[in-house]
Amino acid sequence: MKKLILTVAILMFCKSLFADSDIHTISLKHRLASEVVDQVRPFLPESATIKAYDNMLILKSDRATVANVEQLIKKLDVPLKSVLVTVWQTSEQLNHQSGHQANIELSTEEPNASVSIKQWSTKGKDDKNNRYSAQGIAGQPIAINIGNARPEKDYLYFVNANGNIGFASNTQYISTSRGFMAVPFLLSDNNVKVEIHPFFSDRSHDGQINSSNLISTVHGKLGQWIEIAYVSEDQHEQKEGLKQYQTHQGQQQIIYLKVETSSN
């Protein structure tokens, strides 16, 4: 009898031991597994492994680790929040705008050049003030392009069999842009943080398109305008250290950004 009890106990212990090393799956309701797996991995012991597949985490670990991961997933697996990002390009200086201006300056090289935001737009009473809106997801980038397509002509000269000289021309449009990627984050107490990832490109005299990338961050209140940049349309040089800026207060266009949620 004692031998039977001992055998059963050993079998139960072995079963428990192997069960602890089994492969477990955790399903997510609101997020893709690839979006949270990197946040979970630092909390795993060295003996555990985790993989992401669609909306499912595949975890090989002991049961205690699985329980801890399930508790963490309850915090991470929340519905994504839809946001409305509005960009307003105007010559008005708002007196009560929220947030801080990013260290960004967008200026054109030619006098009286036109500047427009053309990534997306809405029609309405605010069209004359260049106000544009786009739906997005908090934490995801929204591209905003400011620029124009410049015409570039190619000429081909040829001589026919009779010795007559002729030529043909072709016009193509080279797109040069000045703009930014806006990545909005919703914080506590109705605060927002917006990461501004500017991208600039210019058509140089030798035909090259020069571009650069910077990163700035602005903070403000949810539903309020945040001044992020301004665009100068006239040529006026101003030296500051080794940098030259083209500004003209009378012709400047100020760019504001506002983040709202669907509940606002």
119-147 tens-digit pLDDT: 333 333 344 457 777 788 888 888 776 55
User: Are residues 64 and 191 both part of a single domain?
Assistant: no
CB 189 within 8 A of CB 220: no
Is 158 part of any domain? no
Q: What is the pLDDT of residue 182?
A: 85
pLDDT at 24 over 80: yes
User: Are residues 35 and 65 both part of a single domain?
Assistant: yes
pTM for this entry: 0.53
Classified as helix, coil or strand, 75 is helix
Length of the chain: 264
User: Are residues 9 and 72 both part of a single domain?
Assistant: yes
Nearest alpha carbon to residue 84 among 124, 118, 120, 117: 120
Mean pLDDT of 44-52: 92
User: Which CATH number goes with the domain that contains 9?
Assistant: 3.30.1370.120
User: Are residues 56 and 180 both part of a single domain?
Assistant: no
User: Are residues 69 and 186 both part of a single domain?
Assistant: no
Is 45 part of any domain? yes
Q: Mean of the per-residue pLDDT values for the chain? A: 70
* C-alpha span between 41 and 32 (Å, rounded): 15
> Which of residues 17, 48, 76 is at a domain's end?
76
What tens digit of pLDDT does each residue of 149-204 get? 556 666 666 666 777 776 666 665 555 556 677 889 988 889 999 988 776 555 55
> Which of residues 48, 76, 104 is at a domain's end?
76
CB 257 within 8 A of CB 221: no
Is 215 part of any domain? yes
Q: Which ranges of the chain does DSSP label H, i.e. alpha helix? A: 2-20, 33-40, 63-76
Cα dihedral 122, 125, 128, 131, rounded to 10, equals -40
What tens digit of pLDDT does each residue of 229-262 get? 766 554 445 444 444 444 444 456 788 889 998 7
* Total of domains in the chain: 2
Q: What is the pLDDT of residue 106?
A: 42
Domain that includes residue 99, residue range: 82-147+176-261
- CA–CA distance from 57 to each of 47, 62, 73, 76 (Å)? 16, 15, 10, 13
What tens digit of pLDDT does each residue of 70-92 get? 999 998 998 888 898 888 878 77
Is 155 part of any domain? no
User: Are residues 105 and 55 both part of a single domain?
Assistant: no
- CA–CA distance from 53 to each of 71, 106, 162 (Å)? 19, 43, 70
